């Protein structure tokens, strides 16, 4: 067998195995064929095996001495592709022998680029917003949709001035789409970006938004919002209660300037007087205006009549005083 060097398409690295998974995306159907095929083509290009699916490295173009090596490489590439296809689809593909024909069969079955596919992709781009996601997650998802749209829709490779203007217009539209999907909390930095002349690229605008997001996160950590309850408690605790004596009423707890007995009681003031002990029944000079409590008084003649009645009943005096008084006071008072 002729020797093949490292750069030859038929070269296999000692670490290459049929069980290697080249890409994380698994082909599940029409919905992700574009992303899957793009990822796999990049991986095969890195392995120098892209010609096996493009039809460039055909078995017939190599001499007889390299046919066996070509069969090995063909089996390796076929295994790598099967490792990235969902089990439901790979069951009907294991009998393929030529990797180029196998790749063409997948493309014919799942590459459905029509108006409806482009429409739904374009609508997804237009309706995508940041929401609760971070700026990084939002931009990553948006860029993935842009790349998929670019892969489906062919653009001119012309380097003329008109083509360059169309390319600049497309990039400007993507800048506007990115800014429109941001939350309103970034309205300030968004206005600054739109006022820049010339308008920055999408990547430059993304960098500015990310810096703003990082600055807000850093500021929120260094300057936490004070607790309203704690602030209220601190403010109320800082006001010390007056413990001196009023010069007017001689009562404690307020000053002369705020004494209600001097300046008058407010209309909504509620009097809440505590009961005084028996030794404190003597009313002070401040309470002299209040009417004295009513009490039953007897003349000496009335006392004599009561004693005379008690003696006639011949009842022990001690337990009968209150009863006789309560029984005869009312008639005598009249």
116: pLDDT strictly greater than 90: no
pLDDT at 223: 57
331: pLDDT strictly greater than 70: no
Domain of 208, in residue numbers: 115-220
256: pLDDT strictly greater than 70: yes
Please indicate, yes or no, if residue 332 is contained in any of the structural domains. Answer: no
Domain count, the chain: 2
- The residue behind tokens 């066996």 is 68
Kindly state whether residues 137 and 104 are assigned to the same domain: no
Please indicate, yes or no, if residue 175 is contained in any of the structural domains. Answer: yes
Please indicate, yes or no, if residue 333 is contained in any of the structural domains. Answer: no
Token digits of residue 279: 């030794």
Kindly state whether residues 75 and 121 are assigned to the same domain: no
Q: Any bridge partners for residue 252, and if so which?
A: 245
**Which pTM does this prediction carry?**
0.51
Q: What is the pLDDT of residues 263-297, one digit of tens each?
A: 777 776 666 555 444 444 444 444 444 444 444 55
Please indicate, yes or no, if residue 121 is contained in any of the structural domains. Answer: yes
Kindly state whether residues 178 and 129 are assigned to the same domain: yes
**Helices 161-180 & 187-194, crossing angle to 10 degrees?**
160
Q: What is the pLDDT of residues 131-174, one digit of tens each?
A: 999 999 999 999 989 988 887 777 667 778 888 888 889 899 99
Q: Any bridge partners for residue 245, and if so which?
A: 252
Kindly state whether residues 201 and 160 are assigned to the same domain: yes
Kindly state whether residues 106 and 174 are assigned to the same domain: no
- DSSP codes of every residue in 211-249: HHHHHHHHHHHHSPPPPHHHHHHHHHHHSPPP-SB-TTT
Please indicate, yes or no, if residue 238 is contained in any of the structural domains. Answer: no
pLDDT at 224: 56
For 61, phi then psi, to 5°, come to -85, -10
Kindly state whether residues 160 and 173 are assigned to the same domain: yes
Question: In whole angstroms, what separates CA 67 from the centre of its chain?
Answer: 61
Residue 2: pLDDT band by 50, 70, 90 thresholds?
low
For residue 25, give the 3-state DSSP assignment.
coil
Residue that terminates a domain, selected from 220, 239, 271: 220
Kindly state whether residues 106 and 119 are assigned to the same domain: no
pLDDT at 121: 87
CB 111 within 8 A of CB 38: no
Kindly state whether residues 158 and 213 are assigned to the same domain: yes
Token digits of residue 327: 């029984």
Residue that terminates a domain, selected from 110, 126, 160: 110
Report the C-alpha gap between 231 and 225 in whole angstroms: 11
pLDDT at 228: 54
The conformational region for residue 29 under phi > 0 = left, psi -120 to 50 = alpha, else beta, is left
pLDDT at 279: 45
| Averaged pLDDT for residues 171-188 | 94
| Averaged pLDDT for residues 87-91 | 80
Token digits of residue 79: 């295994």
Please indicate, yes or no, if residue 47 is contained in any of the structural domains. Answer: yes
């Amino acid at each position: 067998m002729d020797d093949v060097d490292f750069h030859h398409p038929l070269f296999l690295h000692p670490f290459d195995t049929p069980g290697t998974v080249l890409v994380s995306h698994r082909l599940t159907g029409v919905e992700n064929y574009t992303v899957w095929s793009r990822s796999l083509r990049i991986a095969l290009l890195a392995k120098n095996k892209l010609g096996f699916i493009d039809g460039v490295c055909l078995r017939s173009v190599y001499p007889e001495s390299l046919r066996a090596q070509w069969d090995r490489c063909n089996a390796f590439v076929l295994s790598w592709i099967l490792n990235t296809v969902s089990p439901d689809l790979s069951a009907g593909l294991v009998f393929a022998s030529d990797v180029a024909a196998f790749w063409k069969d997948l493309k014919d079955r799942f590459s459905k680029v029509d108006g409806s596919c482009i429409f739904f992709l374009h609508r997804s781009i237009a309706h995508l917003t940041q929401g609760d996601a971070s700026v990084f997650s939002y931009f990553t998802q948006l860029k993935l949709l842009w790349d998929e749209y670019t892969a489906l829709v062919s653009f001119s490779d012309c380097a003329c001035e008109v083509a360059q203007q169309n390319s600049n217009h497309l990039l400007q539209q993507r800048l506007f789409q990115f800014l429109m999907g941001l939350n309103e909390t970034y309205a300030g930095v968004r206005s600054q970006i739109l006022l820049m002349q010339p308008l920055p690229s999408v990547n430059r605008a993304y960098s500015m938004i990310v810096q703003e997001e990082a600055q807000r996160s850093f500021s929120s950590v260094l300057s936490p919002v004070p607790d309203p309850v704690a602030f209220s408690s601190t403010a109320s605790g800082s006001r010390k209660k007056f413990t001196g004596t009023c010069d007017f009423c001689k009562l404690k707890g307020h000053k002369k300037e705020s004494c209600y007995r001097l300046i008058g009681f407010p209309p909504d003031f509620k009097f809440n007087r505590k009961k005084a002990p028996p030794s404190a029944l003597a009313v002070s000079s401040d309470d002299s205006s209040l009417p004295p409590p009513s009490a039953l008084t007897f003349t000496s003649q009335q006392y004599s009549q009561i004693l005379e009645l008690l003696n006639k009943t011949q009842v022990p005096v001690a337990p009968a005083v209150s009863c006789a008084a309560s029984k005869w006071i009312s008639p005598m008072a009249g």
